[in-house]
Structure 1
């Protein structure tokens, strides 16, 4: 039956002028399926021997390499109330531009003449300190004058003592002379008594010699009394000398005490002066903090406070500034298993969110729309997501990163490893083996022989 129908179709197709028979019914065509199968098989075998670049894929975000180039908060150092806003969100500002004006809310700083009055207190303290120092200088001069007066008084007493010593020596000589004279009178009266008993002299002559002896004794007694009186005067002079030393020592000690007291008062006043100067500097610095300025150039974002008169505490965030001059970097998070395969200066290919790209992960040379980078830092501690963070910067030898990048944008990194055949990569993935780490060979230059 089938053979009969096939012969009828063949005869009808041969006689018909319609092209549908030749296009629909393939009776006159030979099959090429076998050739296509062999070709695809040969192509597949050839592909297995093509080079394949092993890689590690990691997801990350756009950030900056330096901390000062990242978005930063602008905080207030003092508490206050909002007086006037000078900017709004989205504005571009330069470093030093005024962002916000604050008003004072603490009672101790309400005085509008606070700086002036504090300066007047400093001036008064300076004058008081100078008075104490002048008093200390005057007591120093007074102490020197007392020392000079003491020296003059002691010199005068030394002269008197020297004179008294000479007087004592003179009176000692007079006493010795009077004693010798009395001894002579004593011998004469004894001889006169013998002569009187023998009748050689008269009683009148004996009485004359007796009177002479009594006069000599009186003279010797008077010389002794004078000598004792002079010695007593010498003792009095020495007592006066010691009393003078003690008196002037007390006076000098009192003056020195006044001097040290003045110096102590001057030091205390100086401490109070320094404290007032510190307060003045703090008041002046606080007055400058009423105007919050931009620490660097950038764009204003995230204004947390609003309105006029709203209270702001110390340390509250005012706005956030995104710097305009940024050295972009990419932070990638790699799995702990892939961390040993990552090293500094390693090449990385990037696909940024929002930028079209055609990626052949095994053949980076055939990819389109990717950007190059190199690893500059690998953190040693695991992040909160259980992965390790690495930082990648722009590769200066590759195409420049797009200027439209923004901090926080997404990026996917492909870290290139060793080149292996396709069949080896398939075998590795089937068996779950890790990629092979590739290190560039370093050639050590040979030393030249002398």
Structure 2
């Protein structure tokens, strides 16, 4: 638009010399004819015609100048409008850039908060404690919210879901050499009526059979060893409603059958019921000589 206005102004400006020459020529013609009329050579009527031509030429010249000024003002107005629009556009661009920088700052803040939340979430995930097995929370010693705990405090007690039931028996070190894996065991459970005669399992009532599954390699610090007894396939133990986890039980490990007199003699002398043939027998007469290094 500015280029069109300038081109229009240039075109009108080029017409100005022609109109100015036309006006000057009309003026010369009028003055010459006027001089002839004063000498009586020309009639006054003809002078009026040249005067009119000069007036028309002056009017056209003045009109062209006004038009040129108008076109120039229009061109200047277009230029001013363009500068104003450029300023407005620059203002809008600066505002948009400021908004962009503000948005980038907010985005950086959000990303920082997101990273902080991710770090906290990762820390909380690391704080999750997973039970080693499925079960039910049996005891919860934490009673108040905001209660302070120290390292090593118990949070709760879980009773695991047991699929295989096992009885723990504690045997003294004196009887430990007599027990082997696979030995038959008779069990009497607490809360289940039973009558048991030591050494006479055939007349026992209310007892249940089992066999030794495992023996701990070390004692409990007091000379007692733990023996794990599992049920046998011949006789099932009581149902879960009677035989819950933690129920106490008494057990008798069945050994070899001997005569009553031998058993009384063994008990009085503190001898073991059976001596394994694989165990070495000490002989004071036979002493091995320790070879000396050469």
TM-score, normalising length from structure 2? 0.48
Structure with bigger strand share is 1
Structure with bigger helix share is 1
